[in-house]
Amino acid sequence: MKQSRISRREFITKATGAALAFPTILPASALGRDGKVAPSERINMGMLGVGARGLGNTRNFLGLDDVRIGAICDVNQTHLSRASQAISEQSESNDLRSYTDFRELNADPSIDAIMMALPVHWHTIPSLDAIAQGKHIYYEKPMALSLKEAQMVRAAVKKHNIIFQFGTQQRSSIYFRWASELAMNGRLGEIQKIEVGVPGGEVSEEFPEEPIPEWVDWERWSGPAPSAPFNEKRLKRSFHELIADYSLGMISCWGIHHMDIANWGNGTDSTGPVSVEGTGNFPKTGTCDTVLDWRVRFEFEKAPPIEFSDQGHHRMGVNYVGDQSSLHVTRGAINPESKGFLRDPNNKEDALPTRLLVSANHYRNFIDAIRNGSQPIAPIDSAVRSDTLCQLALIAIKCGRKLQWDPKKEQFVNDARANGMLQPRKPRSPWKLPQIA
Domain range for 406 is 174-355+379-420
The predicted structure's pLDDT at residue 95 = 87
Confidence of residue 22 (pLDDT cuts 50, 70, 90): very low
C-beta of residue 27 within 8 angstroms of C-beta of residue 11: no
Q: Is 78 helix (H, G, I), strand (E, B) or coil?
A: helix
Q: Which CATH number fits the domain that encloses residue 247?
A: 3.30.360.10
Regarding whether 161 and 207 lie in a shared domain, the answer is no
> For residue 207, is it within any domain?
yes
> For residue 410, is it within any domain?
yes
Residue length of the chain: 437
Q: Average pLDDT, whole number, for the chain?
A: 92
pLDDT, tens only, 367-399? 999 999 999 999 999 999 999 999 999 999 999
> For residue 136, is it within any domain?
yes
Would you say the pTM of this structure is higher than 0.85? yes
Mean pLDDT of 181-201: 98
Q: Which CATH number fits the domain that encloses residue 165?
A: 3.40.50.720
Distance CA 313, CA 69 (A): 43
Tell me, rounded to whole angstroms, the distance of Cα 201 from its chain centroid: 19
Return the percent helix, strand and coil in the chain, to nearest 5.
40, 20, 45
pLDDT, tens only, 117-126? 999 999 999 9
The predicted structure's pLDDT at residue 8 = 46
Give, for 149, the enclosing helix (H) or strand (E).
helix 147-159
The predicted structure's pLDDT at residue 317 = 98
Residues 6+ apart with CB under 8 A from 420: none
Confidence of residue 435 (pLDDT cuts 50, 70, 90): confident
pLDDT, tens only, 34-49? 556 766 789 999 999 9
The predicted structure's pLDDT at residue 93 = 66
> For residue 39, is it within any domain?
yes
The predicted structure's pLDDT at residue 28 = 41
E-assigned strands of 125-207?
Answer: 136-139, 164-166, 191-198
Confidence of residue 4 (pLDDT cuts 50, 70, 90): very low
pLDDT, tens only, 216-269? 999 999 999 999 999 999 999 999 999 999 999 999 999 999 999 999 999 999
> For residue 299, is it within any domain?
yes
Choosing from 136, 170, 204, the residue where a domain stops is: 170
> For residue 366, is it within any domain?
no
